[in-house]
Structure 1
């Protein structure tokens, strides 16, 4: 069944008439992480979408915002079939579970095993379940599958990551039937201390911090990604395997901190410095038309700049619900 709705989307508030599909059952794996929080809040704001979400444990954030929509799932100890089975059938599964680079200790066996389990084995298991049960599986990819030595990586560029994080993600990003991989670097708000660049900056109590001017970045926000996922589901756009999500421009990590400072009203000084090693993991794409289409599905008339995306994130009610 479909219904027509006239809604306002995107940073320019452009009204778009869309044909909305109802009765979509969506499972969000890892709703307590940086991406999972935003995707869960955003998709749950649409009453015609049937959202179920998971986390290792229930939290105050989950109880406050989702109540009975939560399923306990430990991706290391539990089998994925414990939540995806004949009783619990889903049309879409969005995997937000993963170990991020700052949390990995390559000298600790437990940390190494957890990283491989969550970043490599879990996506592989999901691929099999999605193919067997005809579920549409959306996986976020990372720019860290690339070393950062050249930049402007496209979808078929050689993945030359040198650390455990990147290598573990390479395995988890193998293409498969019913799997849609959208690759980008992401930033977004978190609760508590968090481990991401944005949260580190916003929670930092120092008077001055350093930002690298020779580390290049052209990622997106968790809100951008959430809107694109919703657009894909709404329009049943599932015609590709791997696509890079690329904004209009590229900035440095130091300039990214400046955007955080300006839009989140952070009273701190930023010293622009050169890192010992130049890092350029910027993404490009072999299919610019599809990149444009993804942004349009999310309600953006034109591909936005990094600066516009950070401004939108800072002004979003969903960001405020996560931070506050």
Structure 2
């Protein structure tokens, strides 16, 4: 069995690769082989990157166009990368009778109510959230979650932002609520899922058992990484509750998951 991994150089993809490569034959599809935006019209190039896929294989999509690295009004890039590309991968996986795992985001919701389940109405009003919502395939294994982790490139994630303020001072939102998972936790979940052959069709949420504020999250990172940051409690004028509920609850606390990232894995 081979695992074809798209987005292996991104934040999540590097964790997924580092976990799966210990037990599986992982083939990373890089941008030279297929660029999800610039090669959008070249279906032959996409097929070529997956030419030796069989019915025993798995395709994992960790790619995504994110607002931290893309202009808010870049409609073409968001739609090509977040909406059309996942559906193309699903189509190819069906043709080859391979499994397809797609990772999507809690940002399909606007955060006004929280406690969103798999059937909650998508309420995103921004281009990123809408493009991700439209890009969720119906007949593949779709994981909807929210993640934090370390990055080798870009350094745009929340965790990297907190780390970049070592010995400094930041504000932490006390009324932004979250119960996502770390990239390492999600990567380990995907490995266990593959080990056990536990695939499904449609969307399932993966989330942590405890709910924290962004202030709490910043405090955890500060403590675990020994950053010596002064973190001020800050109440945003627009409260946000992005919490998820559903079938798959991770028992480890968010604090424990961040400790695991710091202690147990070195990205390459």
Partner residue of 1:217?
Answer: 178
Partner residue of 1:300?
Answer: none
Aligned mate of 2:27, from 30, 42, 52: 52
Q: Could you tell me how far apart the structure 2 residues matched to 1:321 and 1:173 are? A: 28
Q: Could you tell me how far apart the structure 1 residues matched to 2:76 and 2:30 are? A: 19
Partner residue of 1:35?
Answer: 12
- 1:1-324 paired onto structure 2 within 5 Å: 24-46=1-23, 49-56=24-31, 72-78=33-39, 79=43, 80-85=46-51, 87-89=52-54, 91-107=57-73, 111-176=74-139, 179-204=140-165, 207-285=168-246, 287=247, 291=248, 303-316=251-264, 318=265, 320-322=266-268
Indicate the SS of the match to 1:194.
coil
- TM-score normalised according to structure 1 size: 0.77
Q: Could you tell me how far apart the structure 2 residues matched to 1:219 and 1:148 are? A: 13
Indicate the SS of the match to 1:102.
coil
User: C-alpha displacement at 1:274, in angstroms?
Assistant: 0.6
Q: Could you tell me how far apart the structure 2 residues matched to 1:174 and 1:96 are? A: 14
**Range with greater deviation from structure 2 (179-188 or 303-312):** 303-312
User: C-alpha displacement at 1:88, in angstroms?
Assistant: 4.3
User: C-alpha displacement at 1:263, in angstroms?
Assistant: 1.2
List, as ranges, runs of 4+ consecutive aligned residues in structure 1 with deviation greater than 4 Å. Answer: none
Aligned residues: 262
User: C-alpha displacement at 1:284, in angstroms?
Assistant: 0.7
Which structure 1 segments of 5+ residues have no match?
1-23, 58-71, 296-302
User: C-alpha displacement at 1:241, in angstroms?
Assistant: 2.2
Q: In angstroms, what is the RMSD of aligned CA positions?
A: 1.6
Q: Could you tell me how far apart the structure 2 residues matched to 1:321 and 1:242 are? A: 28
Does the 8 Å contact 1:104/1:165 carry over to 2? no
- TM-score normalised according to structure 2 size: 0.92
Q: Could you tell me how far apart the structure 1 residues matched to 2:257 and 2:226 are? A: 16
Q: Could you tell me how far apart the structure 1 residues matched to 2:30 and 2:222 are? A: 31
Q: Could you tell me how far apart the structure 2 residues matched to 1:26 and 1:38 are? A: 14
